[in-house]
Amino acid sequence: DGGITQSPKYLFRKEGQNVTLSCEQNLNHDAMYWYRQDPGQGLRLIYYSQIVNDFQKGDIAEGYSVSREKKESFPLTVTSAQKNPTAFYLCASFSRQTNTEAFFGQGTRLTVV
């Protein structure tokens, strides 16, 4: 079955450590996105990518980094420079050809301990 998968579902990190969140899709979608959601808030755009080897900063990119070496994969690294990383992270993808809705992964809940 086609879909978008994020892993892990829950992640704990010590302060000062970098951590990488995985996002994989087998929908053949060109565009992929990373969002951050804080309790009771909407989704804020961190980074997005339209094609392989290209990506752009969203509204809250500071303290995060991404790569897009393969069409299927768009991993997000939360660096130690991100001062308040505890949040729910959502990855999404959509097809630029059909220009329909974005499909979301199940999310990763990151907690700094």
Partner 1 sequence: GQNIDQPTEMTATEGAIVQINCTYQTSGFNGLFWYQQHAGEAPTFLSYNVLDGLEEKGRFSSFLSRSKGYSYLLLKELQMKDSASYLCAVRDLGVGTGGFKTIFGAGTRLFVKA
Residues 6+ apart with CB under 8 A from 79: 18, 63, 64, 65
Tell me whether residue 17 or residue 50 sits nearer to partner 1 (CB atom).
50
Tell me how many residues contact partner 1 (CB under 8 A).
Answer: 31
Near partner 1 by CB under 8 A: residue from 43, 52, 60, 61:
43
Q: Provide the H-helix boundaries in the chain.
A: none
Which residue ranges make up the site for partner 1 (CB under 8 A)?
31, 33, 35, 40-45, 48, 50, 54-56, 58-59, 88, 90, 92, 94, 96, 99-107, 109
